[in-house]
Structure 1
Amino acid sequence: MMNAVDAASGWGWVKQGFTLFGKQPAEMLTLFFAYMFLSLVIGFIPFAGRFLPLMLVPVFAMSFMQACSQIEDDKRVYPDLLLTGFRSEGLLRLLSLGVLYVLAAMLAIGLSSLADDGIFLNFIFAMTPEDPETLPKGKLFLGMLVAGLVYLPAMMAFWFAAPLITWGRMSVGKAVFYSFFAVQRTGLAFTVYGLAWLLIGVFGPTLLGMITAAVVGQVAIGLLVMIPVSLVLTVVMYCSFYPTYTTIFGRPDKPQSETPQNPEMPPG
């Protein structure tokens, strides 16, 4: 049986993310910047650099999940946690999950071409990057919207998959299956969670930057305020992923051989 989750849980996850980050902010920022740097380096690999960062997302995701688990246990977070997923016995399954990430993203972007005549696809994969200002704004936005809607079911299937593989020792197929239905059955909580992060993580820094620019009289100063605030909120959001898992599946403090509670499956 899946643990009971109501709409208010979505806001609770956001608050728990701030609490976890607040306990070790410097350590979590260090872990995040190490991840960003390594992803940037991987991105320079010819051709493969376009896909590897996305393929490795499930592997690196376990770094932040494990870091939050240690913070909850009052243990210090160190940069070497970035290798958590690589040390896991489920590494091959995490990499297989990463391949599904790439395939789902390619499918979503490819289908968006039916709505925007391939503008978003060309923007993503063009060998020579185009200036966004020269692109048709309406069609680019439409392509992004269609890609996002197509990718939504995949996002639901991937949300809990990495920790279910690593901590629950599930197969890729089983983890994806349980993740999808766990998110589907707690849809109201995730709606609140998503809207909260939209307001806090997107509109919040933008509004703060605009106010700062208006007070100081310089747009550049507003941008200088927005960037660090956005980075900190991104790390807080990463921290909030952990309570979405523990609320539904419980803390990962069980023996490795014990599978976490499975969400209740819909009839039929």
Structure 2
Amino acid sequence: MKLNIVPARTGITWVKLGIRTFFKQPLALAGLFFLYMAAATLASLIPLVGVVLALAIVPAATLGLMAATLEATKGRFPMPAILVSAFRAGQQRARAMMVLGFLYAAACLLIVSIVPLFVDAPVNRESALTPEMQGVMLFVMVLYLPISVLFWHAPALVHWHGVTPVKSLFFSAVVVLRNAGAYTVFGITWMVVLMAIGLVVTVLASLVASPEAAAAMIMPVALLMAAMFSASLYFTFEGSFEATPTDDPIPPGDTP
């Protein structure tokens, strides 16, 4: 495994590849993303541990969606079982992914604990779009950015390269920071895409007399865009590391 240094314009290429691959298998990739969202929602409803569990499955689900994208690039239809790929590559890597998951949950819960110490978040729907709430959201995004950098490639490194959880966080941060230009362009490009599609959806929704119908139109489009974004994550990994996976590995000594 070798870290790659890529030009900033590569960020646009990653977005294009993600969108192109999504449309190769739109039903499968969108369906898998919706399945993950449903599983996370159900997990969050479990008393006491639900929120922690919903957060802890994020790295494994991210890996599953990346594996599905890899299948789509090969012209294959990814099946639902691919979402649990992280737990089918041997006990050692499954345990490592679980550790990574709980580290992610701990980091996110730390943010939730920190935010009220610095800002007062609105507690009702009417204040959700106020400048105060926008400030809170911006503050949360700033706090989450380091977590995103650390965990961006960590699931793939654990699963496909057998890197330990702590080292995977380190390598993920190093490659993202060394390719900051490409990842910045990647993020900006996706923002432009989302804004363009959001504008189209808003215009169409404004033509619908019923607010309920407009809301019903916006939510599926937002989920589809999130699924499309998840399809582009694999290409950021493929472009950032020289060695790319061909199949899910089962290392010697591990049992599925």
Q: TM-score, normalised by structure 1?
A: 0.83
**Which of residues 82, 95, 98 is equivalent to 2:98?**
95
Q: How does 1:11-26 map to 2 (within 5 A)?
A: 11-26=12-27
CA RMSD of aligned residues (A): 2.3
- In 2, are the aligned partners of 1:213 and 1:220 still within 8 Å (CA)? no
Match of 1:27 in 2: 28
Match of 1:137 in 2: 130
- Report deviation, 1:243: 0.2
Is contact 2:65-2:231 (8 Å) kept? yes
Q: How does 1:46-195 map to 2 (within 5 A)?
A: 46-89=47-90, 90-117=93-120, 119=121, 130-134=123-127, 137-195=130-188
In structure 2, the CA distance between the partners of 1:214 and 1:39, relative to structure 1 (3 Å rule), is closer
- Map Cα deviations across residues 156-202 of structure 1 (whole Å, 9 max, x no partner): 0100000000001000111000000100011111111111222223x
Alpha-carbon deviations, 1:49-71, whole Å to 9, x = none?
11111111111112111111112
SS of 1:59's equivalent? helix
Looking at structure 1, the residues matched to 113 and 34 of structure 2 have their Cα atoms a distance apart, in angstroms, of 31
Aligned partner of 2:43 in structure 1 is 42
Give the CA deviation at 1:209.
2.7
SS at structure 2 position matched to 1:191: helix
Would you say the 8 A contact 2:5–2:178 is kept in 1?
no
SS in 1 for 2:161: coil
Superposed CA deviations along residues 10-52 of structure 1, whole A, max 9, x for unmatched, are 1111110111111111111221222122222212110211111
8 A Cα contact 2:44 2:50, kept in partner: yes
Which of the numbers 224, 227, 242 marks the counterpart of 2:216? Answer: 224
Letter in 2 for 1:108: I
- Segments of 5+ residues of structure 1 without an aligned counterpart are 121-129, 259-268
Aligned length: 247
* 2-structure distance, mates of 1:154, 1:136: 25
Asked whether the equivalents of residues 160 and 179 of structure 1 are also in contact (C-alpha less than 8 Å), the reply is: yes
Counterpart code for 2:102: V
Report deviation, 1:254. Answer: 7.7
2:246 is matched with 253
Structure 1 residues 134 and 223: alpha-carbon distance in aligned structure 2, compared to 1, 3 A threshold? closer
Separation (CA, whole Å) in 2 of partners of 1:36 and 1:171: 27
- TM-score in terms of structure 2 length: 0.87
